Amino acid sequence: MDEIPPRPEFDLIERLAERVGDTAADADRVAVGIGDDGAVTVPDGATATSVDMLVEGVHFRRSTSPLRLIGRKALSVALSDIAAMGAEPGEAYVALGIPPDLDEAGCLELYGGLAEVASEAGTALAGGDVSASPVLAIAITVVGHGAAAGDFVSRAGARPGHVLVVTGELGGAAAGLLVLERPELRSSLGEEAAAALVARETDPTPRLTAGRALAAAGAAAMIDVSDGLGADAGHLATAGPAWLRIELEGLPIQPGVAELADAAGADPLDLATAGGEDYELLASLPPERISEAVAAVRPLALTVIGEVSEGSGVELRGADGGPRQPRGFDHLRRR
């Protein structure tokens, strides 16, 4: 079937394998890496596996993101789910759909970004597949490890009396996206602050160390903040089931978000609760474990942002003590 020439040849696979081979060769658990019918690994006891698919025009644009950053973000986003399980990152498998206008150098640049994050995160790029495709598409399967299935933290363990904690700072990715889409907003910020916000959007950090630390410190439910704090809290609330009350006044909002929101005519709380893509971790903890958890994730901040009670749902409470619905931030974006 020849509408799209059946590119990727064996040569390309070999070159991609060379580009990322070290990440697999150094991995203790990988017995056979790229190049056979399958990669052979020896897990520790239990595995946590997650899949993320990114498609050009839906999740990224090559016109605004360099290929290296597209590769970095694809793997970081996938690894964020492993972080949210409290698992140790192990292997990643990459299925790459290569469009006609992406040459071998471009593929290698993208794999360079993948290899960087793999190396930073201690993840072996152990296999994958390549195919011709009308647009760039990247599907990544990541495998995390733990001694036993019970060591992983699901979304389902939030219980009445728990406190809700979130790592790091929120709102930065949404603010960064606005900066990218509306360059005139840059003038409201210093160049450094603008760059920091943009980096939150284009090059997120999976909170792998914090995820394992929170699991060890008693996190009973955990999720990464990818869809927005409100939506992701909703996933914990449904899985529990549990009632999650979040005090918006206490949210850790990234520096620069307030100024950017002001310039954009937005409420920083909307960016922090509805923007998503911050890839921080939201966890439910027994209150007696808070100080242990705070110490365990240091130097990353861990902020108590609410509490869990009986029921099933999410309540976002404003400074006035009244309920509040996030308005989203899509209306602020340039179409």
- Is position 209 an interface residue for its own copies (rule: CB under 8 A)? no
Q: Contact with its own copies (CB under 8 A): which of 143, 158, 248, 274?
A: 143
Q: Contact with its own copies (CB under 8 A): which of 103, 129, 184, 262?
A: 129
Q: Contact with its own copies (CB under 8 A): which of 71, 93, 214, 305?
A: 93
Q: Which of 110, 146, 152, 153 is nearest to 130 (CA)?
A: 110
Nearer to its own copies, 135 or 304 (CB): 135
Q: Which of 222, 181, 237, 178 is nearest to 86 (CA)?
A: 222
Cβ at position 137, least distance to its own copies in Å: 6
- Is position 1 an interface residue for its own copies (rule: CB under 8 A)? yes
Cβ at position 138, least distance to its own copies in Å: 9
- Is position 318 an interface residue for its own copies (rule: CB under 8 A)? no
Instruction: Give me 251's structure tokens.
Output: 């949210």
**Interacting residues with its own copies between 171 and 190 (CB under 8 A):** none
Spatial distance between the Cα atoms of 206 and 211, rounded to a whole number of angstroms: 9
Spatial CB neighbours of 194, under 8 Å, sequence gap ≥ 6? 179, 186, 256, 260
- Is position 25 an interface residue for its own copies (rule: CB under 8 A)? no
Spatial distance between the Cα atoms of 30 and 40, rounded to a whole number of angstroms: 6
**DSSP per-residue codes, 84-114:** HTTPEEEEEEEEEEE-TT--HHHHHHHHHHH
Nearer to its own copies, 131 or 312 (CB): 131
Nearer to its own copies, 98 or 258 (CB): 98
Distance of CA 64 to CAs 57, 198, 199, 200, 247, Å?
A: 11, 11, 13, 15, 35
Instruction: Give me 96's structure tokens.
Output: 């790459």
Nearer to its own copies, 80 or 258 (CB): 80
Chain contacts with its own copies (rule: CB under 8 A):
1-4, 6, 31-32, 35-43, 45-55, 57-61, 81-82, 84-85, 87, 91, 93-97, 126-135, 137, 139, 141-144, 148-149, 152, 154-156, 222-224, 239, 335
